[in-house]
């Protein structure tokens, strides 16, 4: 069962991201955080992992070090460590896209299992949304990504390789299937 800490994290995340929407949409950002947290719980994650899933973009998108310190204060060192492990940049302006993604991929090889679980859930939800949006918008859809079509597909393939090298869970398997579906929609024969 989830405790009041989870409820507190849900309220905190909702308020923190209240003015944020999913890239290129009007969908409130909290929908992403709720989905990632649900995926973590469905995969057997702990309450700390589920809380970190709700907060996984807080440092990156909502305040850098001040968000980090508030997470540490409110939810403890373990949650803060997981959130930190899911953060690919905490400075503005962010480093160039490819550099940031390569550093994050390298970091995942050293990351503990709880960080990889939250990250895999995040990437699965992102990949599912990309598949859905690509179906609706077609090739023009890729323009909203800094990595474009090729960079985005490269990144997801690298993520799948890393996650599969550590974890053969339903979560990782679903990410691999979703990336393969994205390849098909994008007219690529990789997988």
Which residues are known to be catalytic? 60-61
Q: What is the DSSP string of 27-48?
A: SBTHHHHHHHHHHHHHTT--HH
At 21 the three-state DSSP class reads: strand
162 vs 173: CA distance, rounded Å: 12
Q: What is the DSSP string of 130-147?
A: HHHHHHHHGGGGGGGSTT
Residue 184, Cβ neighbours under 10 Å: how many?
Answer: 12
Question: What are 21's strand-pairing partners?
Answer: 28
What DSSP designation does 1 have? Answer: -
97 vs 89: CA distance, rounded Å: 10
User: Which residues does 160 contact at the CB level (< 8 Å), separation at least 6?
Assistant: 172, 175, 176, 179
91 vs 88: CA distance, rounded Å: 10
């Amino acid at each position: 069962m989830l405790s009041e800490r989870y409820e507190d994290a849900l309220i905190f995340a909702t308020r923190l991201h209240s003015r944020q929407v999913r890239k290129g949409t009007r969908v409130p950002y909290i929908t992403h955080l709720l989905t990632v947290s649900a995926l973590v719980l469905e995969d057997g994650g702990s309450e700390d992992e589920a809380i970190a899933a709700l907060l996984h973009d807080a440092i990156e998108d909502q305040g850098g070090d001040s968000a980090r310190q508030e997470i540490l204060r409110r939810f403890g060192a373990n949650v803060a460590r997981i959130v930190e492990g899911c953060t690919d940049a905490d400075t503005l302006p962010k480093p160039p896209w490819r550099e940031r993604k390569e550093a994050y991929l390298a970091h995942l090889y050293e990351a503990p299992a709880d960080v990889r679980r939250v990250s895999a859930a995040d990437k699965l939800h992102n990949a599912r949304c990309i598949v859905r949006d690509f179906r609706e918008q077609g090739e023009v859809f890729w323009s909203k990504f800094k990595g474009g079509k090729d960079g985005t597909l490269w990144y997801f393939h690298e993520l799948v390789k890393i996650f599969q090298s550590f974890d053969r869970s339903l979560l990782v398997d679903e990410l691999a299937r979703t990336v393969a579906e994205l390849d098909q929609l994008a007219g690529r024969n990789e997988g």
